Chains A and B, each alone.
Chain A
Amino acid sequence: MRDGIAIARLGIPAVSLVTEDFWPQGDFVAESLGMPDAPRLRLPHPVAGTGEANLSAVAEAIAPKIVEALAH
C-alpha cells in the first residue's frame, strides 16, 4: 500500500494489491498517508506459500483488473 501511494505520488499510475485479511491495514495506511482513495485490489488470503498452481490462478484472475484499474 505504501509503495503504491509512493509511486502514485510520483505521477505514475499505480494499484496496490491487498489480501483479504490485510484490507483493514490497507485502509489504515491509505488514510494515514492522506490518500484514502488510493487504488487497491483485493486478493484472497493467503497468497504466499500456496503453491505455483494457486499463484498462477490468482494472477490470472487479478491481471485484467490491474489493467483496468491502471487505465482509469
Chain B
Amino acid sequence: MLTGLLQAVDEAAAVERLHDLECTDGLPVIVPTEARVARMALAAGLDRDLVLGRMGPAGGIATVEKVAVAAVMAGCLPDHMPVVIAAVRAVLDPRFDLTEMQSTTHCTAPLIVVNGPARQWCGPIASGFGALGPGHRANACIGRALRLAMINIGGGRPGTSDMALLGHPGKFTYCLAEDEEASPFQPLHVHSGFEADESVVTVIGAEAPHSVLFSGSGDDPERHERFLEILAIGLANLATNNAGLRGGAAVVVLNPEHAAILAGAGLSRVQVAERLCALASHPVAELARYEPAFAGKPGTRERLPCFDRPSDIVMLTAGGAGLYSMVMPTWCAGPHRNRAVQVRIDTDQVCEVPGADSG
C-alpha cells in the first residue's frame, strides 16, 4: 500500500479526522477505505502504483492509487475513473502550468470538458440544462475528484499554497460534456484532431462562467454578427485578465440556439473563432488608463487584441436552448499563458468492477 492509513472508530469520526487534516474541500467526503480505493483503482485498469506525474505546488507523486483515493472521497462511481485519470493527466502536463495556477492570486479552476463516447460510458456526463450546476452526479464528482487530488497530492490549500484571493465556486467542481448531438459544429475534440469515436478531456484553467445575453431579431440579416459582437464584448470585458494581460485563452459555451444562429449564417467553427478574435480588442489608451503596467508603451498599434490567435478561443456547445450563452475568461499567465490541454480518455483498459460497494 503506497498511501498511508489513518485509524478512526467509525465513518463519522473518519470524516471529521479528514476535515481536521485539511484533506477535504470543506464538504463531507466518502471515507477512502482500503476496499473502496482498491475498487476505484481497479476501475482505472492501470497498475495502482503507476506514477502519473508530480503534482504542484507541493510536488506530490500522483499515482493511480492516490487519484483513486481522491475519486472515492469525491463520491465517484468506478465508471467515472477513466475521466478522472485523464483530467489528472491533463493538469500534470507541463503546458498546463499547474504549480503556477495553484499558487496564483487569480480566481482560476480547471474546467473539464468531455467529448466522445465516454460522455455516456463514464457518466452520463451532463451537457444540457444546468450542466454546470447541481444535480448531475458525474459532473459533480469528476470535477470534485480532480480538486481533491489537487488538494491532497498537489498540496493546494488556501492561504498557504493556493493563494487565490477569493477563488470561485468552480473550485469545488467544474465539469461538463459537450452536447455534440445538439451542436451544428464539429465537436471540440474532432476539431482538435481526434477521431469522433475517441473520448477526450479538454482541461483549461478558467474563471467562473459569465453569462452572455442575446436575443436579437430573426428579421435582422446580420443577427449572427450582432451575436458575435456581444460575445466578443463578453470575452473582451475590460476588467478581465484577457483584456488586461492579453495573450491567453478563453472558453465560449454556446447554447444550442445560439450555435444555430451562427451555423445558420453559414459560419464554421473556425470562422466564428476568427471573427471573435478580430473583434476582441481595446484601444491602447483605454488599457493604459486602467492597466498601465500591462498596456506597455504606446507603439504603432492603436488597439491591442485580447487573443494572439483564434485557436486560443475554446468553443463548445452545451446547455439548454435559450437566450444565454457563457464565456469563461482565464488567468492568461504562467509560462504557457493558460493553454487548454487535451488528453484522450483511455477506455480500452477499463476494468468492470464486480459486485456492490462493500465498504
List chain A positions with a Cβ less than 8 A from chain B: 2, 22, 24-25, 27-29, 32-33, 49
> Which chain B residues border A28 with CB–CB below 8 Å?
57-58, 155, 160-161
Q: Is the CB of B155 within 8 A of A25?
A: no
Give the complex CA separation of A32 and B293 in angstroms: 32
Q: Is the CB of A25 within 8 A of B161?
A: yes
Q: Is the CB of B58 within 8 A of A32?
A: yes
Minimum CB distance partner of A29 in chain B: B57
For the complex, would chain B's binding face be called helix, strand, loop or mixed by DSSP majority?
Answer: loop
B215 to chain A, nearest CB (A): 40
Residues 158-180 of B contacting A (Cβ, < 8 Å): 159-161, 163
> Which chain A residues border B58 with CB–CB below 8 Å?
28, 32
> Which chain B residues border A27 with CB–CB below 8 Å?
160
The interface bits of chain B over 112-133 (1 if a CB of A lies within 8 angstroms of the residue's CB, else 0) are: 0000000000000000000000
Contact for B59 among A22, A25, A33, CB less than 8 A = A33
The interface bits of chain B over 236-280 (1 if a CB of A lies within 8 angstroms of the residue's CB, else 0) are: 000000000000000000000000000000000000000000000
List chain B positions with a Cβ less than 8 A from chain A: 57-59, 99, 103, 155, 159-161, 163, 293
Q: Is the CB of A24 within 8 A of B155?
A: no
Known: A25-B160, A32-B58, A32-B155. 7 other contacts (CB 8 A): A2-B99, A22-B163, A25-B163, A28-B155, A28-B160, A29-B57, A29-B103
Q: Is the CB of B59 within 8 A of A24?
A: no
> Which chain B residues border A2 with CB–CB below 8 Å?
99
Q: Which 4 A-B pairs have the closest CB atoms?
A: A24-B160, A28-B161, A32-B58, A28-B160
Q: Is the CB of B59 within 8 A of A32?
A: yes
Give the complex CA separation of A32 and B55 in angstroms: 11
> Which chain A residues border B293 with CB–CB below 8 Å?
49
Minimum CB distance partner of B100 in chain A: A2
Give the complex CA separation of A28 and B57 in angstroms: 9
A1 to chain B, nearest CB (A): 10
Q: Is the CB of A24 within 8 A of B159?
A: yes
> Which chain A residues border B99 with CB–CB below 8 Å?
2
Q: Which of B155, B160, B163 has the most CB of A within 10 A?
A: B160
> Which chain A residues border B160 with CB–CB below 8 Å?
24-25, 27-28
A24 to chain B, nearest CB (A): 5
> Which chain A residues border B163 with CB–CB below 8 Å?
22, 25
> Which chain B residues border A29 with CB–CB below 8 Å?
57, 103, 161
Give the complex CA separation of A69 and B163 in angstroms: 27
Give the complex CA separation of A37 and B44 in angstroms: 40
Give the complex CA separation of A57 and B129 in angstroms: 55
Give the complex CA separation of A33 and B103 in angstroms: 14
> Which chain B residues border A32 with CB–CB below 8 Å?
57-59, 155, 161
> Which chain B residues border A49 with CB–CB below 8 Å?
293
Give the complex CA separation of A71 and B359 in angstroms: 59
**What are 15 sample pairs from A and B whose C-beta atoms fall under 8 A apart?**
A2-B99, A22-B163, A24-B160, A25-B103, A25-B160, A25-B163, A27-B160, A28-B57, A28-B58, A29-B57, A29-B161, A32-B57, A32-B58, A32-B59, A49-B293
Give the complex CA separation of A33 and B293 in angstroms: 31
> Which chain A residues border B159 with CB–CB below 8 Å?
24
B15 to chain A, nearest CB (A): 25
> Which chain B residues border A24 with CB–CB below 8 Å?
159-160
A62 to chain B, nearest CB (A): 20
